[in-house]
Amino acid sequence: MGAAGLHCRAAALGGRLARAESGDRRQIASLWESGYLGTRFLGAHIESDFRNSKVVTQSDMKVELLPALTDNYMYLLIDEETKEAAIVDPVQPQKVVDAVKKHGVKLTTVLTTHHHWDHAGGNEKLVKLVSGLKVYGGDSRVGALTQKVSHLMTFKVGSLNVKCLYTPCHTSGHICYLVMKPNSSEPPAVFTGDTLFVAGCGKFFEGTAEEMYKALIEILGKLPPETRVYCGHEYTINNLKFARHVEPHNSAIKEKLAWAKEQYDRGVPTIPSTIAEEFTFNPFMRVREKCVQQHAGESDAIATMGAIRREKDNFKVPRD
């Protein structure tokens, strides 16, 4: 099978993994750990993944973007003061262990955004590879969970403050993690899983348009504008093509799309964005704008959220 065929089968499998019932996920996880799935379906694509890792360095924290599977990201979060680290959604545990060794840090914490296999599927293996890990998540379906969290619960990774933001919709237990250092002039970071993407949002598998509106506008949208957004997937180009369809005259969308294509061609991730940026080109964060409501044929922001999500679910992405 050629690379294109492997890519298609991997993408299809990834979708089935995310939607699998708990018993199916356990079987899939067993096959993955045995190497069967990696060899048969995903291995060739993973090893030749076009995306390079990327490190975002601030004086208070460092974040390494670790590409995983076909389009996922894991994030190694490092407290620069104590060299303590957390990993967000470690679906490929060995990559995590290798990154931890490279940076010479102590991994203490797993931050799980939601229970879907392509985010939480590596937890069980990672806790076997690294002893004493604290595994946080907002859903009892999260593998190897040691601490179930709730909205606005806080804890520390080294000297960094982590605040849990409950954002149900994509899944009923979805959590975003806001990270900042007290009294720091550096921008906060928010790890949004499959709630907020660059120029998009997650499908409403277990929630409603009202819940996604609250998550994007009333919770994430109220964060400091400079907050850096680290999302769960590299969907940026396709999301921006849909955004262009919704707002064909929006110059911010056109500029971001041209930039994202350049990044893609260089193998560089398009993440992070910022909360301020998202309000300029993300149609799901622009549902209060009249032009977006007019496109949706609605006059209410929540109804617009539902309408454009349904439209995007059936959107055929142009090849340009």
**Tens digits of pLDDT across the chain (320 residues):** 443 333 344 444 444 444 443 344 444 444 443 333 433 333 333 333 578 999 999 999 999 999 999 999 999 999 999 999 999 999 999 999 999 999 999 999 999 999 999 999 999 999 999 999 999 999 999 999 999 999 999 999 999 999 999 999 999 999 999 999 999 999 999 999 999 999 999 999 999 999 999 999 999 999 999 999 999 999 999 999 999 999 999 999 999 999 999 999 999 999 999 999 999 999 999 999 999 999 999 999 999 999 999 999 999 999 99
Amino acid code (one letter) for 125: K
Told to judge if 170 belongs to the known catalytic residues of this protein, a careful annotator would answer: yes
Please tell me which residue in 89, 118, 174, 295 is annotated as part of the active site: 118
Nearest to 106 by CA among 126, 83, 79, 133: 83
Q: What is the pLDDT of residue 49?
A: 57
Told to judge if 295 belongs to the known catalytic residues of this protein, a careful annotator would answer: no
Domain at 49-313, CATH homologous superfamily: Ribonuclease Z/Hydroxyacylglutathione hydrolase-like (3.60.15.10)
Please tell me which residue in 45, 115, 116, 295 is annotated as part of the active site: 116
Q: In what order do the strands lie in the sheet with 273-274?
A: 154-157, 160-166, 175-180, 189-193, 228-231, 273-274
Told to judge if 116 belongs to the known catalytic residues of this protein, a careful annotator would answer: yes
Please tell me which residue in 45, 60, 89, 114 is annotated as part of the active site: 114
Q: Where in the chain is the domain with CATH 3.60.15.10?
A: 49-313
Beta strands in the chain (DSSP E): 54-57, 61-68, 72-79, 84-88, 106-111, 134-137, 147-148, 154-157, 160-166, 175-180, 189-193, 196-197, 200-201, 228-231, 273-274
The Cα–Cα gap between 118 and 72 comes to 7
- Residue 292 · residue 304 · CB < 8 Å: yes
